[in-house]
Amino acid sequence: MLIQSDHIIKWMELVNAQIDKQKEYLTQLDQAIGDGDHGINMTRGFKEVIQKIHQTTYDDIGKLFQDVGMVLVSKVGGASGPLYGTAFIKAGQVLKGKPEITINELGQAFQESVNGIKLRGKSQIGDKTMLDVWEPVTKYIQQNGNTLNIRELISYAREQMEHTKELEAKKGRASFLGKRSIGHLDPGAVSSCILFETLCSILLE
């Protein structure tokens, strides 16, 4: 399958709709182990993303990703804005100048996103953050490439998200709780799962 700008735009529209639907849930998750603004941060960010990308037509997927990232960095307060923003900006650099991409290329771009999140967040796998979804999901996409089974990818992303419940937070606000963070899902892992699930539904169309 070849992915074009239209797919990415539809993806962002679906992320926006899904995040808006789950705003209260994301807020509740962040109330348990953070400051309760993750739902607000994410809805604001993706609303702005939609406004921005509807202003332009894109024949460069890299530019589209970079615009998404710039909006998230500049419009979203909190840790998640700069981290999600970095993820999209870094992916955009890999995809620069490409009017269409393969799943393999998307996987390579996400690998740069992962590197960017790690660098910016000084985080690693197991810290109970969004990275606990981003890194394994990216590996999974890269390992399976164009033979990727999208439905299996969805279950895999959900498993990774669920796994954050067992972890003790080492980064971000939840880390202030130490062991008391165990037993709760990480809000950023849940929003990241929404991101990958909606991507999958676009790829299944």
Residues at the site binding ligand ADP, with contacts judged by CB under 6 A: 30, 34-35, 37-38, 41, 78-80, 83, 117, 121-123, 129-131, 171-173, 186-189
Q: Rule CB under 5 A: say whether 105 interacts with Mg ion.
A: no
Take residue 131 and report the two structure tokens written for it.
Answer: 């990275």
Residues 6+ apart with CB under 8 A from 44: 75, 76
- Give least dist CB 41 to Mg ion, A: 7
Q: Rule CB under 5 A: say whether 37 interacts with Mg ion.
A: yes
Q: Rule CB under 5 A: say whether 172 interacts with Mg ion.
A: no
- Give least dist CB 1 to ligand ADP, A: 29
Site size with Mg ion, rule: CB under 5 A = 6
Cα 155 to chain centroid distance, Å, stands at 16
Q: Would you tell me how many other CB atoms lie within 10 Å of the CB of residue 183? A: 12
Helices (H) and strands (E) in the chain, counts: 9, 2
Provide the residue type at 59 as one letter: D
Helix, strand or coil, per DSSP, at residue 60: coil
Please identify which residue in the block is written with the tokens 């390579």. 108
- Give least dist CB 149 to ligand ADP, A: 27
Residue 18 interface partner, choices Mg ion, ligand ADP, none, CB cut-off 5-8 Å depending on type: none
Instruction: Give the C-alpha separation, 42 to 27, whole Å.
Output: 10
- Give the x-and-dash track for 55-94 against Mg ion (CB under 5 A): -----------------------x----------------
Whats the size of the chain, residue-wise?
A: 205
The binding site for Mg ion (CB under 5 A) comprises: 30, 34-35, 37-38, 78
